[in-house]
A and B are shown apart, each in its own frame.
Chain A
């Protein structure tokens, strides 16, 4: 592999002028329109010539020559039917026996910006999606408090609200690949996460009315679903930024996200953010719920397992290109944006480095858009595509907590290959001579 020749070319104004020349532009837009009308108007494609022009421009299009839908048609709007392949996806390998105790992966290759549409948000359940009647919803807060209370949904919403953009990630994201890559797909390799703006109430704002005992060290959060999913949370996080959320990207939480109320612990394992929340109990000792010992513990080569492994460490993935979004349609010399997502559960992304040679040499990428704590952050790097050139594309993020992603070798040297959870080693895509993109790992 000619990894020594992959150094990014410096930006040249000459190249840019050449690329944006009229002729090039016409050729490109013509090629694009060919793709758009493929299958419906093959004859038009063949006849496409400079003197005739693009039929999508010089001829009338159907949607412009008749009335569209009335505004009364979709009371709740839906995506264009042409986008029907942008969906959550499942794999039997990632289910615990049925599709109820299972996970639906987010199509992160098809998302824009940092907010995940609610219908595409990844979904992990332990006993299926519960459907709660909000009028019968009750939240109990009890244990080591002077005044145990019961709140209805309306009463909870009377506390002052807080809105925050945070990702939620399953700590098993990337977990099937400790021993090596298995999925030639970003959706399956890294799709156990999404990011949304959440609206709710700080738990500390409720607690101050209740007389929390100084003895309280732990909070049990328990769901009312089939599995009564429960987790124990240390009091520090409860008094910092823990929220009870009922809003997701401006609307009510979706059932898959715990409608009407879920716990949100910004930056921490998704399973700790208990959905369909029914009960918060404060205690002196941890509760040892099923999903904090049987699962979500990281076994080290010593035979000891880390329990209560809360924060998702700094991480990143290149979303374009990726196996689903290859570079097979690029022309030699074309400038292309390498784009991706970085995130840290321990703070705010400070920067991202890009390597074209599998981690031998690194260059600083640009961050772009909003850069928020414990939220997805976009990064961007311009690359001049060279036809036939093989690349090993990697990204490496670092955060304001002073953490940076380890290499695969560094992470395996401490955690071995059996820990399942919290894999945040540098990820690598192999770009082949044909522009195809494969999931690989650099293990040196």
Chain B
């Protein structure tokens, strides 16, 4: 169906050989991989444009006879110069090019551990917990520290093979290779409900605080003094324990070739090739089955394969709608008390809010309060939001 030229068959010989000689431990597979259901397109393990192996270890489909794999292409289209758009202005590039490279230069600014702690207590603690330990109640917002980074780094070899085993601890201090990533991410992505609201100095202060709670060293000294100042000059001297913990090494002129080498070595990442065998018979001596032990089934909405009319259409009413909104947008925190949210149904917790009057409760919710963003991060109208508040309060008094 898709004819291969002789030349291209040679180009794809690695694949062909793997299929043709796929011996296996038990017996041979049927020899039908190229006949019935033939799906072969012209594919190469080597790029035309640089003569190197395909970077992800897979195949590449060159344009042959007006087709790329199964797709016809207009080859003229890729030869024309289009020159759309306009030149980017330096002021525009400056506005958007705010990434921080691992090897600097680092943004201008400075901040101390003490300043960072103040900002942290005001803007971060509700989600990330005391001293960056993660949200107290459910622990699913990322923790920023679990203790001394250099000691925790040793846990990265841990494997939870048994239920009581300790796992590897992957937090900023123990796992991240470069602090530049944290600076960049805090500047552009944090605080979660109000990103891009922190100044350079505030970001330096927060990173300094993160260094202190992870007991990280800068230029040989552990950061513990609240007067310690982090700035563009000493940022490059932060000593991250896991800086060499990632493979392959991507830095420097051989970076892309290093990843090419790794991804073309399937056994390095648990992948298997047809040359390893495609066993068809008597492949296992015994069949050992692992069943579900702790079943996860808190699904939203619950699984159902029923084909019927939805309940709303049968007159579920406003309360059903408010309940659905609550479950989709509010339950994450108000079911569990995450981020200090008052728990639905907890009359004692809600009493103090209800006492302030419903107008105040609505207003706080609409404008955002504590870790909760305005309207809980929803796009509801004021009226819709109030009906959800009514639903929660109705369950909590």
A132: interface (CB < 8 Å):
no
Q: If the complex has contacts A152-B85, A294-B176, A403-B266, are A281 and B97 also in contact, measured as CB distance less than 8 A?
A: yes
Q: Across the interface, which residues of A come within 8 angstroms of B135, CB to CB? A: 97
B271: interface (CB < 8 Å):
yes
Residue on B with the closest CB to A267?
B58
In angstroms, Cα B88 to Cα A433, docked, is: 67
What's the count of A-B pairs with C-beta under 8 Å? 430
Residue on A with the closest CB to B259?
A308
Q: B278, A237: Cβ atoms under 8 Å?
A: no
The smallest C-beta distance from A67 to any residue of chain B, in angstroms, reads 20
Q: Across the interface, which residues of A come within 8 angstroms of B195, CB to CB? A: 127, 226-228
Q: Across the interface, which residues of B come within 8 angstroms of A436, CB to CB? A: none
Q: B92, A392: Cβ atoms under 8 Å?
A: no
Q: A304, B290: Cβ atoms under 8 Å?
A: no
Q: A128, B377: Cβ atoms under 8 Å?
A: yes
Q: Across the interface, which residues of B come within 8 angstroms of A236, CB to CB? A: 47, 50, 52, 54-55, 256, 260
Of residues 374 through 405 on chain A, the ones whose CB sits less than 8 Å from some CB of chain B are 377, 392, 398-405
Of residues 269 through 304 on chain A, the ones whose CB sits less than 8 Å from some CB of chain B are 278-279, 281, 283, 285-290, 293-294, 297-299, 301-304
A444: interface (CB < 8 Å):
yes
In angstroms, Cα B102 to Cα A220, docked, is: 14
Q: B177, A440: Cβ atoms under 8 Å?
A: no
Of residues 140 through 189 on chain B, the ones whose CB sits less than 8 Å from some CB of chain A are 140-142, 156-161, 167-168, 170, 172, 175-178, 180-182, 184-185, 188-189
Of residues 423 through 443 on chain A, the ones whose CB sits less than 8 Å from some CB of chain B are 424, 428, 430, 438-443
Q: A406, B291: Cβ atoms under 8 Å?
A: no
Q: B184, A289: Cβ atoms under 8 Å?
A: yes
Of B49, B87, B290, the residue contacting A441 (CB under 8 A) is B290
Q: If the complex has contacts A91-B299, A187-B303, are A100 and B246 also in contact, measured as CB distance less than 8 A?
A: no
Q: Which of B76-84, B223-231, B345-353, B389-397 contacts A (4 or more CB under 8 A)?
A: B76-84
Q: B56, A85: Cβ atoms under 8 Å?
A: no
Of A101, A156, A417, A443, the residue contacting B84 (CB under 8 A) is A156
- Of A152, A349, A416, A430, the most chain B CB neighbours within 10 A belong to A416
Q: B85, A361: Cβ atoms under 8 Å?
A: no
Q: Which of A48-56, A114-122, A202-210, A332-340 contacts B (4 or more CB under 8 A)?
A: A202-210
Interface size class of A (residues with CB under 8 A): 35 or more
Q: If the complex has contacts A324-B303, A411-B270, A442-B289, are A404 and B84 also in contact, measured as CB distance less than 8 A?
A: no
Of residues 94 through 118 on chain A, the ones whose CB sits less than 8 Å from some CB of chain B are 95-101, 109-110
The smallest C-beta distance from A370 to any residue of chain B, in angstroms, reads 8
Of A91, A155, A162, A281, the residue contacting B85 (CB under 8 A) is A155
In angstroms, Cα B300 to Cα A91, docked, is: 6
Of residues 312 through 341 on chain B, the ones whose CB sits less than 8 Å from some CB of chain A are 313, 328-329, 332-333, 338-339
A254: interface (CB < 8 Å):
no
Residue on B with the closest CB to A298?
B269
Of residues 1 through 59 on chain B, the ones whose CB sits less than 8 Å from some CB of chain A are 12, 14-15, 18-19, 29-30, 32-33, 36-37, 39-41, 43, 45, 47, 49-50, 52, 54-59
A151: interface (CB < 8 Å):
yes
Q: If the complex has contacts A185-B299, A406-B271, A418-B160, are A101 and B86 also in contact, measured as CB distance less than 8 A?
A: no
Q: Across the interface, which residues of A come within 8 angstroms of B310, CB to CB? A: 81, 84
B370: interface (CB < 8 Å):
no
In angstroms, Cα B287 to Cα A91, docked, is: 31
Q: Across the interface, which residues of A come within 8 angstroms of B247, CB to CB? A: 304-307
Of residues 97 through 155 on chain B, the ones whose CB sits less than 8 Å from some CB of chain A are 97, 99, 101-103, 127, 135, 140-142
B298: interface (CB < 8 Å):
yes
Of residues 23 through 55 on chain A, the ones whose CB sits less than 8 Å from some CB of chain B are 39
In angstroms, Cα B140 to Cα A29, docked, is: 50
Q: A164, B71: Cβ atoms under 8 Å?
A: yes
Residue on B with the closest CB to A36?
B307
Q: List 23 A-B contacts (CB under 8 A).
A: A180-B292, A184-B292, A184-B297, A188-B299, A209-B81, A218-B256, A234-B55, A288-B101, A288-B180, A289-B181, A293-B181, A294-B175, A301-B157, A324-B305, A345-B56, A348-B39, A366-B36, A370-B70, A371-B39, A372-B69, A403-B273, A403-B274, A443-B290
5 nearest A-B pairs in the assembled complex, by CB-CB distance: A346-B58, A97-B141, A402-B18, A160-B77, A444-B288
Known: A92-B300, A349-B39, A359-B287; 19 extra A-B contacts, CB below 8 A, are: A87-B301, A92-B332, A97-B142, A99-B328, A148-B93, A183-B292, A239-B49, A293-B175, A304-B245, A305-B247, A306-B246, A308-B259, A310-B56, A353-B29, A363-B280, A401-B43, A428-B289, A442-B287, A444-B284
